[in-house]
Amino acid sequence: MSTLKIIAEAIAGTAQDAHNNKMAKIKQIYLDNAATTKVDAAVVKEMQRYMLEDYGNASSSHEKGRKSREAVENARKIIAESINSNSEEIFFTSGGTESNNWALKGLFMNHENKLLGKNHIITTKIEHDSVLDVCKWLENLGARISYLDVDKEGFIDLKQLEKEINDKTLAVSIIHGHNEIGTIQNLEKIGKICKEKKVYFHTDACQSYTKTMLDAKKYNLDLITLNGHKIHGPKGIGVLYIRKGTRISPLIHGGGHEKGMRSGTENVPAIAGLAKAVELAQSSKENVKRMQKLQEAIIKKIISLEKTKLNGSLDLTRRLCNNIHVCFHNIEGEAIAGYLNNDKIFISTGSACASHKLEKSNTLRAIGLNDLEINSSIRISISKNTTIEESDYFANKLKSAVEKLRLMSPFN
Ligand SMILES: *Cc1c(COP(=O)(O)O)cnc(C)c1O
């Protein structure tokens, strides 16, 4: 053997050893980041400060209160800038669910909107339950709701949207990046239509925030729902962006916090933590590119297995960078998840929200999957913390789980 060849093999061997060592160190792999994310250590540190040191009530006029107030107003500024809006248009809530409830109920209940006879809301068949269930409830109160169809990749039809708008239409509410299938709607085009037809435009951007461009002005948005725990921030904190001049009533009445629009003592630690999470995401934009590369590599590996199909947008530029949703024909998603769970790899079948309802996903039905295909689908959602070693390890484990299950399946 030539010396060169020996050296080359030694180097390759070392690389392999290093790789194996990293593999051996993997204790668990969290691939359910669309359900929630690990809170960043810097976020926890920031929150701790507002629990252990500067724990004053932001409404108190003494120094301790002032420090809390400063934290809240600083957070408002950071978040406002991140979506190209103004501080006075940012309102803190208890999370994405509350923000969605407030946006739709607040518009519908508003006295002026009622006087104008506006009682029609347009949404889609693939919204998060915190929009769909509000719409169902509003129907009982006399609202008329149109649920737009989506194509097999999960995109709405802009022509159908335009056709649905009439002089009673109050608002259009359409999710930005989808929590199950990752499809990103074209908010710019939707916003143009809404502006032209003079109807309010709301988007649920919990999943897309910090992962793809979100610009309140460019997209003509009147209302935006955001939350903390999908972006490595705390749970139980959210934002509703309300464009100045929007006719909307409060959802929660009381002590008059947030300019009388959302009462309740401000959750200062969570607000400061959310702002920190936003800052971190903005200062490391390369994370999105890294996730895109990893996503593409994982998709390639999975799709190379037999009888698999990617659900959602096939064009990855119109798909959330952390989302992979796949159908493995003829085997149960739950069984795959069970095998992976035994290997301490955590993925999801259906969305976290739909899974405790034991209902089949509205979204998967809307993109044309039948019951068998829905049951055979899994969602893998990576994060900025996911490594190449983890994704390789996962792909191998997934492959062997699928092979085992295919051997057992009566259809194969
Ligand atoms: C998680 C999520 C919500 C709900 O937000 P919470 O803060 O958990 O109440 C709403 N919409 C989408 C798209 C989500 O992903």
- Residue 7 Cα to ligand 1 middle (Å): 53
Atom of ligand 1 nearest to the CA of 236: 7
End-to-end CA distance of the chain: 47
Block residue for tokens 């972006």: 231
95 within ligand 1 shell (Cβ under 6 A): yes
With 70 as the cut, is the pLDDT of residue 266 above it?
A: yes
What are the pLDDT digits (tens) for 292-303? 999 999 999 999
E strands, 230-342, are 238-242, 308-310, 323-328
pLDDT digits 0-9 by tens, 119-162: 999 999 999 999 999 999 999 999 999 999 999 999 999 999 99
Look-up: residue for tokens 């994370």?
287
* pTM assigned to the model: 0.93
What number of helices (H) and strands (E) belong to the chain? Answer: 15, 12
Where are the strands (E) in 290-376, listed by range? 308-310, 323-328, 345-346
What is the average pLDDT value for the chain, to the nearest integer?
93
Instruction: Say whether pLDDT at 241 is over 60.
Output: yes
The pLDDT value recorded for residue 4 is 53
- The residue count of the chain comes to 412
* Residue 93 CA, ligand 1 centroid: distance in Å: 12
Residue 339 Cα to ligand 1 midpoint, Å, equals: 27
Other beta carbons less than 10 A from residue 177's beta carbon: 28
Task: List the Cα angle 335/339/343 in 5-degree steps.
Answer: 160
For the chain, percent of residues with pLDDT exceeding 90: 88
Q: Looking at the CA of residue 36, tell me the nearest atom of ligand 1.
A: 1
pLDDT for position 1: 46
Query: Coil, strand or helix: which one is 230?
Result: coil
